[in-house]
A and B are shown apart, each in its own frame.
Chain A
Amino acid sequence: MPIVLPHDASADGHLVDGVIGYLTLTTGLAFVAVLLFLLIAIVFHRERAGRTRAHHTHGNRPRDRALTFAVALVMFIAIDLTLAARAAGELSGRFWRYPDADPNALRVEVTARQWSLTFRTAGPDGRFGTSDDVVTLNELNVPVGRPIYFKLRSRDVVHGFYLPNFRTKIDAIPGSTTRLWVQAQEPGRFEIACAQHCGVSHYKMRGLLVARPEAEYRDWLARAETDSRLRTEAADPATREASGAWDWETGR
């Protein structure tokens, strides 16, 4: 029963794993030091015959204070500041640098509802909410090696769009549009989970992300355009919102 992180299938998941690893190392060391200190105090500074008097100090001398402040400061710099600087760089450089200008990115509109996910990608015309959209329920097909750019909405309650194999998640919130981008590095079938309690059947709100090599993906897309078994509803412009489509750019 090895307890490990889920398999990392993403381009950026290793950054998350790196942070978690660094934290485990540094906080682990700090905790071991605390534990040793505690053990020494408990074993050797216990009241017993021959040791009835504690060392009397209020710990208020400048030296005492300087020592505690120094340890706290070293901890803060080694763990907190280091991580904050690292996170700021990774957020602005990768996670929060959305591929708005990337024509190569696959854009996906996600509509969450109790208790399913609808995925919509634009058809050959490149526009959302038209009759050539590919709309699928709970299963999303994506190409390997291209950015996948999600915009998410919810029709009822707050849901959590969670990709364990991509080390990330974002909430889908009624009344606003949130976004997320990932990139699959290898083909495979990866689970999409709901992370936010969304009602009685929250535990069954499960989706599947199927990553295919580019050629295979194109093949699938061509079939989906004609095979109604591969997709759900076609977009009816009159009921765009109800069928989970909106204007990608304006979010309306």
Chain B
Amino acid sequence: MTAADGVATGGGDPSGSRGGAEEIHPAPTGFLRRYVFSTDHKVIGKQFLFLGLSFLAVGGLMAMLIRWQLARPGVPVPIVGNLLFGRAGGVISPAAYTALFTMHGTIMIFFAVTPILIGGFGNFLVPLMIGARDMAFPRLNLASFWTMAAATAVLTASFFVPLGPPQAGWTAYATLSTAIGAPGVGQTLWVVAIYLNGASSVMGAVNYITTVIRLRAPGMTYFRMPLTVWGFFLTSILNALFVPVLAAAMVLLFFDRVFGTQFFVAGSTVGAGGDPILYQHLFWLFGHPEVYILIIPAWGIVSDLLSFFARKPAFGYRVTVYSLIGVVILSTVVYGHHMFTTGMSPLLGESFMVLTMIISVPTSLLFLNWLGTLWRGALRMSTPMLFCLGLVFTFGVGGLTGLYLADVVADMYLHDTYFVVGHFHLIMAAALLLASFAAVYFWFPKMFGRMMHEGLGKLHFWPTFITLNVVFMGQLLIGYAGMQRRLYDPSAYDFLRPLLPLNRFISHAAYLLGASQLIFVVNFFVSLRWGPRAAKNPWGIGTLEWTVASPPPHHNFDRIPIVLRGPHELGHPAAWALGKDWLGQDEGPERASADDSTRTRTSPETPPESPS
């Protein structure tokens, strides 16, 4: 295949990249333009990453407080107790506890995981991996970050208003989230913050979709894109379609709270005729795709990284892509399983049960392909690989426990118990955290031009992996024994009292989990300043971001690369002839040793990737 073919099939960059003589904007020199109001996707990516990591710390500390209360109900919190809960003598009050779990969920989902993976790595990686100089809409990108920043400001403000922060849970079910259950300004600010957060997500999503469709380098066909890019692309489609549904729910809830409308308000206390169930439909119509919005980028990243560190191509690349697409489509029609206990009609309940179960087919194909990638590889146990293997494990447990909740009969018992908490934390906390850490360790050299410390990375991995599993599998057991979610003091129930020792054990594991993150913080900041300089391609990988300097220059590519093959050409026989085990996506014959007959003969090195 020639470069011209690539242009014809790939669609690629229309901006005259073929000649390589296109205009490159100079990097901004002023501090504000360069670091604060930057339109550079790499800077915006780092801004999102830092914002997300900061809120991850905040949300994590809240989890520690929640665990303290569950381990020792009513005992003053040590060290920070008097500072945070001075009026209660350092004890977490029921009101403070409800605020804590509400904000923990909100922060982790909307202000930690979303910015880290989608905002941070999505921004940084998508243009670099498809061979583009920036996002399609750099200023929209800037607006996306600063809208998110505004959302965080509004959310933070809710701590300082009369009646305190929101307390209706991260799901904010009506009518608890309306004036009936939450009269304070805090809940209104929560609604505004979620709306702004959603606006930011949609701006980002539109940008990623356009960038992937329009700015792929010549020859970068869809089926030559790294799976990481596939992940961000598909997630963005879900984001663009379903975050507006959440926004609609927030607008209606805002109207109910502020203007006295009654979309969601009902019950004899107020004599109104709205429908609280409508809120749940809107919320979960967004909320279930949201789970996949968060996990699909992680799946993409892990699918790539497993291949990179097994030193062989991703097993069944196309099946993986079609599985991801299948999950995206199915994720839009399964949300009803969040509402099995609302008394939905039998037909609806059974339909949602079967649809939910069908989603396990593409998911298991994806999972089996991961195993296929590892099989007969030459596994390099670097830190990113450890985190990826950890994800395979936790995602296995998290995914399989989902079946319990898909089944209406089992769900009648397990719904709203800690089994649900354990299940979704295994995926949305454990798997996503492991993927985020894998991504940080892997792309840190490209982002900041320095290597992270490998030994500290491994020291970070083991306690993190073990305690994550202990904590969340412990929650599965607690839920199996019947404990409901969001209980301030489980000992109010006789049947939950025997669970206190296990709750205490889980809490101790959680403290250890929190403490071991300090290793990461130290590693991150010390490496940022003093880490050894990173080479262009420290891992020996063929994707495009590793063909440019670390960190990449402002314009990413001096010449837009011409892509000749897929992203996973590791262990390729033609590469061994060159004395290495990988081929770059844009590595042409002219870069190979000219006298190597095996190299020049095999121009379409990737028979499976030829467009069909």
Range for the number of chain A residues in contact with chain B: 35 or more
Q: Is B487 within 8 A of A202, CB to CB?
A: yes
Q: For the complex, is A219 an interface residue (Cβ under 8 Å from B)?
A: no
Q: How far is the CA of A116 from the CA of B336 in the complex (A)?
A: 28
| A56 and B397 contacting across the interface, CB-CB below 8 Å | no
Q: How would residues 333 to 359 of chain B score, 1 for a CB under 8 Å from any chain A CB and 0 otherwise?
A: 000000001110010011001100110
Which B residues, 158 to 176, have Cβ-Cβ distances below 8 Å to chain A? 167-169, 173-176
A41 and B409 contacting across the interface, CB-CB below 8 Å: no
Indicate whether A157 reaches chain B with its CB closer than 8 angstroms: yes
A235 to chain B, nearest CB (A): 15
Task: Return chain B residues, CB-CB under 8 Å to A59.
Answer: 313-317, 319, 369, 372-373
Once the chains bind, are B409 and A19 in contact (CB under 8 Å)?
A: yes
Would you call B512 an interface residue if the criterion is a C-beta within 8 Å of the partner chain's C-beta atoms?
no
Quick check: B317 and A60 within 8 Å, CB to CB?
Answer: yes
Bound: A60/B566 CA distance, A: 13
B492, A87: Cβ atoms closer than 8 Å: no
A58 CA to B355 CA, complexed, in Å: 31
- Evaluate whether A68 and B502 lie within 8 angstroms (CB atoms) in the complex, with A38-B389, A42-B389 already known: no
Q: Is A222 an interface residue (CB 8 A)?
A: no
Report if A57 contacts B (CB, 8 A): yes
Decide if B492 touches A204 in the complex (CB within 8 Å).
Answer: yes
What sequence of 0s and 1s flags, for each residue 4-35 of chain A, a beta carbon within 8 Å of any chain B beta carbon? 11100000000110011001000100110011
Identify which of B118-126, B267-275, B586-594 touches chain A.
B267-275
Give, as a whole number of angstroms, the nearest-CB distance from B103 to chain A: 14
| CB-based nearest A residue for B609 | A58
Chain A positions within 8 Å of B276 at CB level: 157-158, 173-175
Q: Are A23 and B410 in contact (CB under 8 A)?
A: yes
Q: Which residues of chain A are near B8, meaning CB under 8 Å?
A: none
Cross-chain contact of B408 among A41, A60, A73, A87 (Cβ < 8 A): A87
Cβ-neighbour of A156 out of B167, B181, B277, B480 (below 8 A)? B181
CB of B377 within 8 Å of the partner chain: yes
- Cβ-based interface call for B312 (8 A): yes
Contact of A3 (CB < 8 Å), options: B350, B477, B568? B477
Q: Quick one: which of B349, B365, B408, B576 contacts A69, CB cutoff 8 A? A: B365
Are the CB atoms of B167 and A178 closer together than 8 Å? no
Contact A68 B368 (CB under 8 A): yes
Cβ-neighbour of A203 out of B364, B409, B487 (below 8 A): B487
With A54-B376, A91-B346: A202-B486 Cβ-Cβ less than 8 Å: yes
Check A248 for interface membership: any CB of B closer than 8 A.
no
Tell me if A92 is interfacial: C-beta within 8 Å of chain B: yes
**Are A38's CB and B484's CB within 8 A?**
no
CA of A79 to CA of B358, assembled, Å: 11
Q: Complex: how many Å from CA A27 to CA B364?
A: 12
Range for the number of chain B residues in contact with chain A: 35 or more
Alpha-carbon gap, A236 to B480, bound state (A) = 43
Q: Decide if B571 is an interface residue (CB 8 Å cutoff).
A: yes
- CB-nearest residue of chain A relative to B311? A54
Q: Are A203 and B94 in contact (CB under 8 A)?
A: yes
Shortest distance in angstroms between A244's beta carbon and chain B's nearest beta carbon?
9
Q: How near does chain B come to A80, taking the closest CB pair, in angstroms?
A: 4
Report A-chain residues with C-beta under 8 Å of the C-beta of B311: 47, 53-54
Chain B binding site: helix, strand, loop or mixed by DSSP? Answer: helix
Beta-carbon nearest neighbor of B486 in chain A:
A197
Give chain A residues whose Cβ lies under 8 Å from the Cβ of B267.
154-157, 174-175
Q: From the candidates B316, B416, B571, name the one contacting A68 in the complex (CB within 8 A).
A: B316
Is the CB of A164 closer than 8 A to any CB of chain B? yes
CB-CB contacts of B260-285 with A at 8 A, as 1s and 0s?
00000011110011111100000000
The answer on a CB contact under 8 Å between A197 and B175 is no
Given contacts A20-B413, A37-B371, contact A54 B407 (CB under 8 A): no
Is B244 an interface residue when CB atoms closer than 8 A count as contact?
Answer: no
Most buried by B among A68, A162, A195: A68
Q: Please tell me if the beta carbons of A31 and B368 are within 8 angstroms of each other in the complex.
A: no
B178 to chain A, nearest CB (A): 9
Over the window 94-116 of chain A, the binary record of Cβ atoms lying under 8 Å from chain B Cβ atoms (1 yes, 0 no) is 01100000000000000001100
Q: Which residues does chain A contribute within 8 Å of B414, judged by CB atoms?
A: 20
B573 touches A175 (CB 8 A): no
- Most interface-central of B273, B314, B410, B414 (chain A CB within 10 A): B410
B578 interfacial contact with A, CB 8 Å: no
CA distance A191 to B497 in the complex (A): 12
Q: Which of B211-219, B398-406, B435-443 contacts A (4 or more CB under 8 A)?
A: B398-406
The reply on A1 being an interface residue by CB < 8 A is yes
Nearest CB on A from B502, distance (A) = 6
- Hey, which chain A residues are within 8 Å of B490, CB to CB? 203
Of residues 42 through 84 on chain A, the ones whose CB sits less than 8 Å from some CB of chain B are: 42, 45-47, 51-60, 64-65, 68-69, 71-73, 75-76, 79-81, 83-84
Bound form: Cα–Cα A165–B494 in Å? 12
Query: Which of the segments B109-117, B378-386, B528-536 contacts the partner chain?
Result: B378-386
- Closest chain B residue to A172, Cβ basis: B343
Min C-beta distance of A23 to chain B, whole Å: 5
Q: Is there a chain A Cβ closer than 8 Å to B501's Cβ?
A: yes
Nearest CB in chain A: distance from B319 CB, A? 6
Contacts of A92 in B (CB 8 A): 346
Q: Answer yes or no: B525 CB below 8 A from chain A CBs.
A: no
B180 near A156: Cβ-Cβ < 8 Å: yes
Instruction: Say yes or no: A23 contacts B404, CB within 8 Å.
Output: yes
Nearest neighbor of B315 in chain A, beta-carbon distance:
A59
Q: Determine the distance from Cα of A11 to Cα of B376 in the docked complex, in whole angstroms.
A: 52
Q: What does the 1/0 interface line of A204-245 toward B look like (CB < 8 Å)? A: 101000000000000000000000000000000000011000
The reply to whether B502 and A6 form a contact with Cβ atoms under 8 Å apart is no
B412 touches A167 (CB 8 A): yes
Q: Which of B272, B341, B378 counts the most A-chain CB atoms under 10 A from its CB?
A: B341
Cβ contacts under 8 Å, B374 to chain A = 38, 41-42, 45
Which residue of chain B has its CB nearest to the CB of A169?
B341
The distance from the CB of B27 to the nearest CB of chain A, in whole angstroms, is 39
A148: CB under 8 A from chain B? no
B98 interfacial contact with A, CB 8 Å: yes
Asked whether any CB of chain A lies closer than 8 Å to the CB of B572, the reply is yes
Complex Cα distance, B571 from A148, in Å, reads 67
- Set A45, A53, A162: member contacting B375, Cβ < 8 A: A45
* Chain B minimum-CB-distance residue to A189: B494
Q: Is the CB of B482 within 8 A of A164?
A: yes
Cross-chain contact A57 with B346 (CB below 8 angstroms): no
Supply 14 further A-B pairs (C-beta < 8 A) apart from A59-B373, A86-B409: A3-B480, A15-B409, A37-B371, A38-B389, A42-B374, A56-B571, A68-B319, A76-B361, A80-B403, A91-B346, A160-B484, A169-B413, A178-B343, A191-B494
Can you give 9 A-B contacts (C-beta < 8 A)?
Answer: A38-B389, A41-B375, A71-B368, A84-B357, A158-B276, A164-B495, A170-B341, A178-B343, A195-B415
Sort A-B residue pairs by CB-CB distance and give the 5 closest, nearest first: A175-B266, A174-B267, A59-B315, A178-B343, A55-B376
